Amino acid sequence: MSEIISADQQHIQFNTGSCAGPVAVFSRKLDGNMSLHHGDTGASLEHRKTFLEAYGIDYRQLVCAQQVHASGVYRAQAQDRGRGAMEYATACPATDSFITGEKNIPLAIFTADCLPVFLYAPQYPCIGLVHAGWRSTAAGIVAKTLACMREAFGVTAQQVYAGFGPAIRQCCYEVGAQFRDTFPGQVSERQGRLFFDLVAANTAQLLAAGVRREFISDCGICTGCRCRDYFSHRRQPLPGGRMLSVMMLR
């Protein structure tokens, strides 16, 4: 098995049939810890600067959230540029999802097993970037984000393309029996152990909201299987680094 990851695996490929579109990228472990809140944060700003420079993004413009595993959606506008970019305290409070219809606003979420969901409606155009762990998924965060995009920009779910970033997958995500009640149909049993399919749960939510199946793409990376290349909170909880997912209209 190859240990080499090609550069384009850091991009979300939307099924739009076009190369044009928003910046939609995620970092890897070798890019360093990107969080100012988890793990060793001493070099996080330097890591962000280096990673984002490749996409022509000024790391000081990043719009960050104080992620709380709930379902708060925040509409980012020009005046929000740089919120949480230099210190965690100024990040948007109680936010696990961003939307925007404005160009050159780099939205950021941080993950290590939770699922980054990238949403893009070319018609407006507008974007959404969601931090979907199991709690936020149970709270319907993807459906709520689609509803916010419809309300703010007038785009329907049928017009939205979705892309999944790296996350812990069903192969590695062992859970307790209570998940069967929260996510009926998305928990499977193997040798007496239960595993949750976070991607399937979010796919079901997208489809139920009206997103077309052929508009959904998935990078397919499991942070658990690939914990050497990606931060995995469950596989390697310490020192607890986070990957950065960024989305920006240009």
Which residues are near Zn ion by CB under 5 A?
169, 171-172, 222, 224-225
For Zn ion, the closer of residues 74 and 195 by Cβ is: 195
CA separation for the pair 104, 180 (Å, rounded): 41
Contact 132, 59 (CB under 8 A): no
Q: What stretch of H or E contains 195?
A: strand 193-196
Q: Minimum Å distance from CB 221 to Zn ion?
A: 9
* Residue from 76, 57, 56, 54 nearest 65 by CA: 76
CA separation for the pair 49, 26 (Å, rounded): 14
For Zn ion, the closer of residues 139 and 225 by Cβ is: 225
H runs (alpha helix) in the chain? 44-53, 134-138, 141-153, 179-182, 198-209
For Zn ion, the closer of residues 94 and 171 by Cβ is: 171
Q: Minimum Å distance from CB 166 to Zn ion?
A: 11
Q: Minimum Å distance from CB 198 to Zn ion?
A: 11
Q: Minimum Å distance from CB 220 to Zn ion?
A: 10
CA separation for the pair 151, 165 (Å, rounded): 25
For Zn ion, the closer of residues 86 and 225 by Cβ is: 225
Q: Minimum Å distance from CB 28 to Zn ion?
A: 16
Contact 198, 132 (CB under 8 A): yes
For Zn ion, the closer of residues 32 and 224 by Cβ is: 224
Give 33: exposed, middle or buried? Use CB within 10 Å, 0-12, 13-18, 19+: buried
For Zn ion, the closer of residues 44 and 111 by Cβ is: 111
Contact 93, 84 (CB under 8 A): no
Cα-based torsion angle of the residue sequence 13, 226, 54, 88 in order, rounded to the nearest 10 degrees: 110
For Zn ion, the closer of residues 212 and 226 by Cβ is: 226
Q: Minimum Å distance from CB 227 to Zn ion?
A: 9
Q: Minimum Å distance from CB 82 to Zn ion?
A: 36
